[in-house]
Structure 1
Amino acid sequence: MSLFTLTLSLLLGFQFVHAGLPAKIYGVNLGSWLLIEPWMMPAEWISMGGEICNDCSKCIQSEYAFSEKYPDTVDAKFAKHWDTWFNQADVDDLLENGLNAVRIPLGYWIVEALVDRKTEFYPRGGIKALRRGLTQLKKAGISVVLDHHALPGVHTPNQMFAGRCTTDVQFYTDYNFHRALVWTAVMTALSHLDPAFETVASIQAVNEQIMDASKTPGYGEFSKNFVKTVRAVETLLNIHYKRGHRSFDDRASSNFTATMEKMSRTSTFSLPVAKALQDAVPILVSLAVELKIQTSIFGLSSLFRKREALVTNFMDIGWQHNNPSNPADAAIGPQAYDSHLYYNFGGVAAPNEEAHMRHICNLNRIETNAALGNTPLWFGEWWLAPMFEASDEFLRKFADAQKLVYGRSKGWFFWNFKIEQSDVIPADYPRTRSYTECVRRGYLTKNPAAVHDPHVCDPYITPAVPA
């Protein structure tokens, strides 16, 4: 038996009981950990050798630009950042604040084999940092959503969170859709096979794709293939994701490569999905060796019945305009939807307290999304920053109102778990965007399920108009 076959046979043999999502999510994003957005930590970024400018495409203000500028030192500098920006002390803070889930933004380059090193520049070693953090989160009992935040080819223009600030958006092509599906297959397999990933309960396909659907050709079909890829991996592992689901007849085999070969010769999976799985196999073999994943062969029948399928996750249909595809059409098995709401960027409510409170207290996104099949819904990004200079009193009210409204959904993830506090960053950033600072200041309650005033929205509710 070759090392290739042996490694995957061992991987297939290892299973564990998988932890699902909490009934109600009270979470935070681990932003700028494994995908740096320099605006959140400008002093550290500058000390590393980065730059801050008004147009992020014009200076060293993305992971791509940094890696291209410092090819010989980028890995060491980022390794230090990964160890210091999120570590055990931060996990302890999450527990101290009663949080039960995190959303982890990731770039596609965390699966290093997907990077074309001739034309693409990103740090190496992030997968080891991810496993270290996931192990700490598992010990704390905190559920995890792996968020594909930065896609191959760049999926949205001039955004630090895309990993590269550029107008040259190339994600919406067959080549990069394929790379994203390979990423999906690898992350799904690791989530089911690597003990460090035990509390990973969901994978998000794409964070904040371009809002104009006419500029995202092929996205609807990619969404369907994303779900099919997740479920294909689970089928190969005999993980049942819906009632009546059946896996391969040889599902008890420990020879994963033989099963893959059988799959490639049949019409069980579509060509894009089959190709993604095939290209993921050597990557998984390499990772198993590199990461020294401890595997053993167990009897499979009893363990498989305990394993929960991952929750596939998309931005909700309301994120896009101009005749978008409905992500609900892609659902196979458990699926959830993500809504983001930021007031300070404009276009939501007039820049005054009354308008902000009326808008949030009358928000109907949950009901609108449910009518289109986008349920359960969670609010994956939000913060307290309004469009105006806010008093402490208003921020307490605004925090209560948002938590009350978002609490009617599956739950929420605040952006961000922390923000740098330094002379370089605007003072209002940590005050309105750092969860730990908002709790310290009393805007957010120590108990995430609680609010200061459960009736805070009463004066702002607009009476329903009789039919």
Structure 2
Amino acid sequence: MKSIFALLTLLISLQSSLAGIPDKIYGVNLGSWLVLEAWMLPQGWLDMGGQQCNDCSQCIATEFAFAQAYPKTVDEIFDKHWSTWFTQDDVNQLKSLGINTVRIPLGYWIVEALVDRKTEFFPRGGIRQLIRGLKQLRDAGIAAILDHHALPGVQTPGQMFTGRCTSDVEFYTEANYHRALVWTAGMTALTHLDPDFSSVFAIEAVNEPIMDASQTPNYGDFQKNFVKVVRAVELTLGIPVPGVQLDMKVQTKNFTSALTSVASTSTSDIFNAEVKSALLASVPILVELGFELSIGSIFSFNLATANSQREPLVTNFMDINWQHNNPANPANAAIGPQGYDNHLYYSFGGVADPNPEAYLTSICNLNRVQNDAALGNSPLWFGEWGLPTQFSATDDFLNKWADAQKLAYSQGRGWIFWNFKTEISDLAGDLSRQWSYFDGVKRGYLTKDPSQVHDPHVCDSYRANATAT
């Protein structure tokens, strides 16, 4: 038992040595910005031309349905939304509240060349807004995670967060795994080549895949290829990856030419056939982006200087315990720094009985950090959580609920609240009270200093009572 405890302690302590991750993450999600979820801005969505319905697949409730319904005006309408939903004022407020990290949900369609315009419908122009926001975050000293939130083919049925509400889940196929890898190659290259991306320390492979691993065939292979694509781009750029060396010398300073050359000829295990194919497919996309966005470094870089000083990105997955039915362990995919994400919402049921006593008993005995560390999934952070409950919560309970969750999640690398804000309107009603970080601080549930809690002893009377979740 002592040796197991020592191993867990070591795994958790190693968190502080990984590249790029803040010592402790105090973060928020920038939800409904570049992947719009209409439930968070109900009046705004109607004003844009969207619709509300009980089954989000049956009306204009997602970006896909909106773009299909309004092909001539969708780009202009969404550009206005992107410009106004997340602004410099929001960045200033995040900084004033001590937030050091944001998680940015992205759809695959932000890389527009990956969209099949005959069958897939999404707004164009998001990449420029992403760059605008990243520059503002960088200037404020706020780190960022690029979260592949909505995958090609849809990774989870019936969810607004995938960009398309449908029961036809096609992500777990060879073709869509491939498109996701091409997306990954492009985002990795942009992160290292465009100075506006310099605050990005991690790319998350897939947000909330189906929990039943029997329904996600070959997902473990995708995880390994995702990491290899990230590392292949970095090795081509001359960025050191711990324990790995490129098996050839890059002869050109033109990145797209170098990527083509390495992808075609390298014999390294990292450059398997699928990785090479994804890298080669990313080259014309990067060339187009380089011209469109005036990113000169897409075409020219100096291996001998800046890139040798850069740190590799943290590859990021939902933790192994997100899935059941014998899932692949993402720890087996790691090459270089890697981090793990868990999401916990009590309001959807299945975690604790719907009453204050059960909620606090459960969260105060949470063992997810330790359970994940035992399987190599460390460092762990909680990339989504909030204050919603299944019962009518008093202000006093929400103070305790915020404190107890922050204490539980801070056992790992930290936490990222969902969401930075929600709409405040008559139609939204009381939505912001439990879903908005800004409003949670304003109401006093969340402390103005994210590292603090109102009552560090909030869990003392609950820790002896519970079964761990």
Letter in 1 for 2:220: G
Q: Name the structure 1 match of 2:454.
A: 452
How far apart, in 1, do the equivalents of 2:212 and 2:301 lie? Answer: 49
How far apart, in 2, do the equivalents of 1:464 and 1:384 lie? Answer: 21
The one of 360, 363, 374 equivalent to 1:360 is 363
How far apart, in 2, do the equivalents of 1:118 and 1:267 lie? Answer: 37
- Is it true that 1:323 corresponds to 2:326 in the alignment? yes
The one of 372, 376, 379 equivalent to 2:379 is 376
Q: Normalising to structure 1: TM-score of the pair?
A: 0.93
How far apart, in 1, do the equivalents of 2:252 and 2:92 lie? Answer: 41
Q: Name the structure 1 match of 2:14.
A: none
Superposed displacement of residue 45, structure 1: 0.4
Residue pair 1:252, 1:300 contacting (<8 A) in 2 also: no
How far apart, in 1, do the equivalents of 2:236 and 2:215 lie? Answer: 35
Alpha-carbon spacing, 1:92–1:431, altered in 2? closer, same or farther (3 Å) = same
The one of 455, 461, 464 equivalent to 2:463 is 461
How far apart, in 1, do the equivalents of 2:187 and 2:410 lie? Answer: 29
Q: Name the structure 1 match of 2:438.
A: 436
Superposed displacement of residue 266, structure 1: 3.8
Q: Name the structure 2 match of 1:425.
A: 428
Q: Name the structure 2 match of 1:276.
A: 278
SS in structure 2 opposite 1:251? coil
SS in structure 1 opposite 2:346? coil
- Is it true that 1:50 corresponds to 2:46 in the alignment? no
Superposed displacement of residue 299, structure 1: 4.6
Q: Name the structure 2 match of 1:246.
A: 245
Relative to structure 2, which stretch is displaced further, 430-439 or 250-259? 250-259
| 1:275-354 matched pairs, under 5 angstroms | 275-295=277-297, 299-354=302-357
Superposed displacement of residue 373, structure 1: 0.5
How far apart, in 2, do the equivalents of 1:94 and 1:177 lie? Answer: 35
Superposed displacement of residue 258, structure 1: 4.6
How far apart, in 1, do the equivalents of 2:279 and 2:301 lie? Answer: 24
Residue pair 1:310, 1:334 contacting (<8 A) in 2 also: yes
Q: Name the structure 1 match of 2:164.
A: 164
Letter in 2 for 1:153: G
Alpha-carbon spacing, 1:262–1:422, altered in 2? closer, same or farther (3 Å) = closer
Superposed CA offset, 1:244-300 (max 9, x none): 422354236314315523431343211110000000000000001001124495653
Q: Name the structure 2 match of 1:98.
A: 98
How far apart, in 2, do the equivalents of 1:401 and 1:410 lie? Answer: 16
Residue pair 2:253, 2:303 contacting (<8 A) in 1 also: no
Superposed displacement of residue 21, structure 1: 2.2
Alpha-carbon spacing, 1:442–1:258, altered in 2? closer, same or farther (3 Å) = closer
Superposed CA offset, 1:205-253 (max 9, x none): 00000011111111111011000100010110111121x4223542363
How far apart, in 2, do the equivalents of 1:303 and 1:155 lie? Answer: 37
Alpha-carbon spacing, 1:315–1:299, altered in 2? closer, same or farther (3 Å) = closer
Q: Name the structure 2 match of 1:229.
A: 229
Superposed displacement of residue 386, structure 1: 1.3
Q: Normalising to structure 2: TM-score of the pair?
A: 0.93
Superposed displacement of residue 20, structure 1: 2.0
SS in structure 2 opposite 1:20? coil
The number of residues matched between the two structures is 445
Residue pair 1:20, 1:199 contacting (<8 A) in 2 also: no
- Is it true that 1:85 corresponds to 2:85 in the alignment? yes
Gaps of 5+ in 1: 1-18
Q: Name the structure 1 match of 2:152.
A: 152
Question: What is the percentage of aligned positions where both structures have the same residue?
Answer: 62
How far apart, in 1, do the equivalents of 2:53 and 2:461 lie? Answer: 42
SS in structure 1 opposite 2:90? helix
Superposed displacement of residue 463, structure 1: 6.7
Gaps of 5+ in 2: 1-18
